[in-house]
Amino acid sequence: MTKKHIRTSIFLVIMVLCSYGCNSESPTAKEATKMSINKEAFGTTPDGKAVDLYTLTNANGLKAEIMTYGGIVTKLQAPDRNGNFADIVLGFDSLDEYIKGHPYFGAIIGRYANRIAKGKFTIDGTEYTLATNNGRNHLHGGIKGFDKVVWNAKELKTEQAVGVELSYRSGDGEEGYPGNLSCIVTYTLTNDNELKIGYEAETDKPTIVNLTNHSYFNLAGHDSGSILGHELMLNADRYTLADDELIPTGEIKSVKGTPLDFTKPMAIGSRIEQVKGGYDHNYVINNLDGSLTLAASVYEPKTGRVLEAFTTQPGVQLYTGGFLDGSNKGKGAVYNKYNGFCLETQHFPDSPNKPAFPSVVLKPGEKYTQLTIYKFSVR
């Protein structure tokens, strides 16, 4: 045998051993090889900040794309009952389209999700005035909320999940809020087909905080039109009654006998004509002890896709996209009224001015932590 033959034989033996090694790999190791995190440049903000896009892929091929501008979930690819993947969140292809303005597609909302009446609240006798951006009220963190800032990012990988940890330090006085607030929002895509969103915050002065994610879902595919045929179950017997400006009156009412009742699965469109502008209501989840609870479950009959939302938060805003008017065109689609729905897990709107609602005050030395899980499956 020549030296060349010997080298070839050694190479072949190694190849055979390797392939045996691969075949005897544990399922976990196999899964780990399919999971990936990819980072790419996604553009630059007008003030010169570089924005990155992270693509998380789990072992089953589910993909979540998340960018550092606004912590926005730009795409979410999930399979239907035949294994066909579709992108099930509304959004755009480019950073510029997000920067031009949009109704919070996929974004992290902070410091305060939903409305604070007249942008005013008081802590320990000091009144604070926030930026007003929804008539005379404060909405979703103000003029430049957490949906419009660039977050720092760190990749995370475990045997069962891939993720990205986003962090942002909001300075004392930003949009009128007291205290320097350090926030961490962690997106994790698990091999159980869950998108987990963990929220953490700490402050150096007494302040208020209420973080959420504003993804608009359409389980038939973001470009497939109306969501009115989706069947929704909400684990909520009550909701917070609101006035014409969508500010809670303070009264908590039963959904029984009203078109707001989703305690049993019902098509979103079954009674929507009785609700002016569609659903835009904060539901009180049937569990206020802060433990992780099923808040909502949605089933799309044509594709079989199911979304379940679990949360530690006391409330969930059901918003059925009543303000979408066709002016937002994204990823090749035109988004019209009722083309997406949001399940924004949150503390109740205007809690800082409603002493009977669960408190949203965060003090130095305390840690704000919340968890929401969107779990995808098929039926």
Considering only 161-169, 302-310, 315-323, 326-334, which stretch makes contact with ligand BGC by CB under 6 A?
A: 315-323
Catalytic residue among 214, 230, 281, 347: 214
281 is catalytic: no
Residue 140 catalytic?
Answer: no
Q: Are 240 and 315 in contact (CB under 8 A)?
A: yes
Residue 80, CA distances (Å) to 86, 296, 324 in order: 8, 19, 25
The nearest distance, CB 103 to ligand BGC, in angstroms, is: 4
The nearest distance, CB 81 to ligand BGC, in angstroms, is: 30
Say how many CA atoms lie within 13 Å of 138 toward its Cβ. 27
Q: How far is the CB of 344 from ligand BGC (least distance, A)?
A: 5
CA dist 254 and 356 (Å) reads 17
State which of residues 55, 114, 137, 191 lies at the interface with ligand BGC (CB under 6 A). Answer: 114
| From 138, 140, 344, 347, the catalytic residue | 344
Nearer to ligand BGC, 132 or 167 (CB): 132
Task: For the CB of residue 303, give the shortest distance to ligand BGC in the complex, in Å.
Answer: 25
Binding to ligand BGC, residues 72-111 (CB under 6 A)? 103-104
246 binds ligand BGC (CB under 6 A): yes
Q: Does 323 bind ligand BGC (CB under 6 A)?
A: yes
Rounding to the nearest 10 degrees, give the CA dihedral for residues 126, 132, 138, 140.
-120
188 binds ligand BGC (CB under 6 A): no
- Dist CA 119 CA 222 (whole Å): 33
Contact between 350 and ligand BGC by CB under 6 A: the answer reads no
Told to check if 319 binds ligand BGC by CB under 6 A, we report yes
What Å distances lie between residue 370 and 31, 205, 249, 291, 357, CA to CA? 28, 20, 25, 10, 17
Cα-based distances in Å from 75 to 38, 64, 89, 107, 204: 14, 6, 6, 12, 35
Binding residues with ligand BGC: total (CB under 6 A): 9
Q: Check: CB of residue 233 under 8 Å from CB of residue 264.
A: yes
Give me the residues that bind ligand BGC (CB under 6 A), please: 103-104, 114, 246, 280, 317, 319, 323, 344
Active-site residue list: 214, 344
